[in-house]
């Protein structure tokens, strides 16, 4: 029994099994049964569970990483898959979508991206909507963002890849293999923007320059008026102390000179009279000789001391103007230190900073001129690259248009017209963008005589699906996105259906594909085939989904081929059709 059958059965579901064991069903070499296999290491929708969504009471789909096809009778509920995934991607729950008699619908999906597994869940009641990520409640925007990052779904108008013209440009550029040129263009655009930001900053500074220059000049004048140099504060403090005590210094120096050397009773005179006695005693007592030498040295140094004191006293002269000026300097210095909350060294550094800013402001016009020239050069480089990209896009647009028309003809849209139009807009400093300034948009017409119109305005859901099928088969997109195609086979059959099936299988070689179909030519290519059934029990309608075993799949292919009239010949034809798909 496949895991999708387990989840399709009514009753409680062991949520732990979802987180702990994720089974990947695949066909064995003989195609006779499903076997357990590890998850593919790619981005994909691995498992989807739906409860109480319209006619679906409870269903689970365990997807293959390659081509998944959903079939079933008309009205069985095949498009409910689209509705369920749309709810995860942000679609507002319409009135009446909750199954009759139930209070809450639930959509839960397991996404796998490499080794990362994420379970996203949305619960909708008649009054509120709740979102969960890995079992924890989160804002709905968070699960929508995560789902969009892990899974890109393309199909009906509910999914906006083809309806968003920004995607048209990206598709054309990938088709044109313009990646290297786009990188150069983006770099040139960033250069233009950086220079513009510099110019804007300089212009803003220029507006404020006059007022700022006055302010800077005032601050500089305050500091420069003191003529500050490193160490001045200590020198001024020492000079102020000397000037304030000049009279006392002179008085004490003169007295000390008189006492030590110049007075009649000075130390020098006394020692001079005592030297003969010291000489005699030194001769009589050898142990006194060293002391006698000290007396001699002291006697000889007294004139030097006296001369130094006289010199110092001679330099000291009371000068009231100098005293007041030095005191005023120190006072102004203290006020500046308090105002700027800086010491002397900090004030000196600030003065240098103010001078540098002043010089920069004075040179603004020069800098602005240089920057304008730099912008012109950068813009010229951007325009040159833009012209190369434009030429590449023109060639690719013609080639892509012709290729899509040829492919659409094989999908029974032989009269369809498809054009890639480029609105060429001249680049300037204001509109420069990393991907260029031109506007790229797809135009389409499916009716003869009708001119192509904007794709978003004229294409039906089925036409969008076929266009997406063609574009994705052309692009070789290796992003690992999941594609959901709805109404892809509307109004086609025979060889066209075969062509669609081949395209789907081709895309499924590199991307997960989920396709809702009613044609055996498409269903036969499925790596996993789901049957959507509808039944009425006790007056209630129930839809369920199950992955088909090989024998069941033969019968469903036969039903798609012949309707309700199934005989041995039809079954044999279904077996042969499936056998051809494995060749």
More confident residue, 513 or 351: 513
Structural domain contains residue 125? no
Closest CA to 122 of 160, 91, 99, 161: 91
**pLDDT value at residue 410:** 81
CA distance 489 to 378: 51
Structural domain contains residue 226? yes
Inter-residue contact 181 to 350 (CB < 8 Å) = no
Structural domain contains residue 154? no
Tally of domains within the chain: 1
Structural domain contains residue 486? no
Inter-residue contact 365 to 207 (CB < 8 Å) = no
More confident residue, 554 or 469: 554
CA distance 107 to 97: 12
- Look up residue 32 and give its DSSP letter: S
Structural domain contains residue 266? yes
The mean predicted confidence, pLDDT, of the chain is 79
- Look up residue 288 and give its DSSP letter: G
pLDDT digits (tens, 9 = 90+) for 221-274: 777 767 666 766 666 666 667 666 566 666 676 677 776 777 677 777 777 777
Ranking 22-36, 333-347, 474-488, 519-533 by mean pLDDT, the lowest is 22-36
Structural domain contains residue 559? no
Q: How far is CA 290 from the centre of its chain?
A: 90
Q: Exposure pattern of 204-229 as b/e (b: 16+ CB <10 Å)?
A: ebeeebeeeeeebeebbebbeebebe
- Residue 12, pLDDT > 60, answer no
Mean pLDDT of the 305-326 span: 69
**Confidence band, pLDDT 50/70/90 cuts, at residue 404:** very high
- Residue 378, pLDDT > 90, answer yes
Neighbours of 372 (CB within 10 A): 14
**Confidence band, pLDDT 50/70/90 cuts, at residue 433:** very high
Percent of the residues in the chain that have a pLDDT greater than 90, as a whole number: 27
**Confidence band, pLDDT 50/70/90 cuts, at residue 1:** very low
Closest CA to 525 of 509, 539, 540: 509
Structural domain contains residue 166? no
**pLDDT value at residue 245:** 58
- Supply the range of the domain harboring residue 278: 205-362
Structural domain contains residue 142? no
Pairing of strands 67-72, 417-423: unpaired
**Confidence band, pLDDT 50/70/90 cuts, at residue 317:** low
CA neighbours closer than 13 Å in the CB half-sphere of residue 301: 6
Task: Classify the C-alpha dihedral 424-430-435-441 as positive or negative.
Answer: negative
């Amino acid at each position: 029994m496949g895991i999708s059958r387990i989840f399709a059965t009514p009753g409680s579901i062991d949520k732990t099994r979802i987180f702990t064991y994720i089974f990947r069903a695949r066909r064995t070499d003989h195609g006779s049964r499903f076997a357990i296999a590890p998850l593919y290491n790619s981005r994909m929708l691995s498992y989807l569970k739906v409860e109480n969504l319209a006619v679906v009471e409870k269903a689970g789909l365990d997807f293959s990483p390659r081509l998944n096809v959903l079939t079933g009778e008309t009205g069985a509920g095949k498009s409910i898959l689209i509705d369920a995934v749309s709810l995860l991607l942000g679609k507002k729950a319409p009135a009446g979508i909750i199954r009759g008699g139930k209070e809450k619908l639930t959509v839960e999906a397991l996404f796998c991206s490499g080794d990362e597994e994420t379970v996203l869940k949305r619960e909708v009641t008649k009054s509120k909507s709740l979102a969960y990520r890995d079992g924890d409640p989160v804002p709905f925007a968070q699960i929508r963002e995560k789902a969009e990052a892990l899974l890109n779904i393309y199909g009906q108008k509910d999914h906006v890849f083809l309806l968003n013209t920004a995607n048209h440009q990206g598709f054309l550029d990938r088709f044109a293999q313009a990646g290297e040129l786009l990188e150069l263009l983006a770099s040139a655009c960033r250069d233009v923007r950086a220079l513009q930001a510099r110019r804007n900053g300089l212009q803003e500074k220029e507006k404020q320059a006059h007022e700022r220059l006055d302010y800077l000049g005032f601050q500089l004048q305050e500091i420069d008026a003191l003529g500050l140099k490193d160490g001045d504060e200590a020198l001024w403090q020492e000079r102020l102390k000397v000037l304030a005590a000049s009279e006392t210094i002179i008085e004490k120096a003169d007295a000390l000179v008189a006492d030590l050397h110049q007075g009649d009773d000075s130390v020098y005179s006394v020692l001079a009279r005592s030297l003969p006695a010291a000489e005699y005693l030194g001769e009589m007592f050898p142990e006194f000789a060293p002391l006698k030498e000290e007396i001699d040295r002291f006697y000889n140094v007294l004139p030097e001391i006296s001369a130094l004191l006289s010199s110092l006293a001679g330099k000291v002269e009371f000068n009231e103007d100098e005293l007041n000026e030095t005191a005023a300097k120190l006072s102004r210095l203290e006020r500046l230190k308090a105002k700027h909350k800086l010491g002397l060294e900090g004030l000196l550094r600030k003065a240098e900073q103010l001078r540098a800013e002043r010089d920069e402001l004075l040179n603004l016009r020069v800098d602005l001129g240089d920057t304008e020239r730099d912008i012109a050069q950068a813009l010229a480089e951007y325009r040159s690259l833009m012209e190369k990209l434009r030429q590449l896009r023109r060639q690719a647009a013609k080639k892509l248009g012709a290729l899509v028309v040829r492919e659409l003809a094989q999908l029974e849209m032989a009269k369809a017209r498809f054009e890639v139009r480029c609105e060429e807009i001249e680049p300037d400093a204001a509109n420069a963008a990393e991907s260029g300034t031109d506007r790229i948009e797809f135009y389409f017409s499916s009716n003869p005589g009708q001119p192509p119109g904007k794709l978003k305005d004229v294409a039906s859901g089925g036409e969008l699906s076929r266009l997406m099928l063609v574009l994705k088969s052309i692009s070789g997109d290796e992003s690992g996105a999941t594609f959901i195609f709805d109404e892809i086979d509307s109004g086609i059959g025979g060889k066209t259906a075969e062509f669609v099936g081949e395209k789907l299988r081709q895309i499924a070689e590199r991307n997960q594909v989920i396709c809702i179909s009613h044609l055996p030519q498409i269903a036969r290519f499925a790596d996993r085939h789901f049957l959507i059934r509808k039944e009425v029990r006790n007056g209630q309608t129930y839809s369920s989904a199950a992955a088909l075993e090989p024998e069941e799949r033969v019968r469903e292919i036969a039903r798609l081929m012949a309707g309700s009239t199934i005989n041995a010949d039809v079954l044999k034809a279904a077996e042969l059709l499936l056998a051809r798909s494995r060749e």
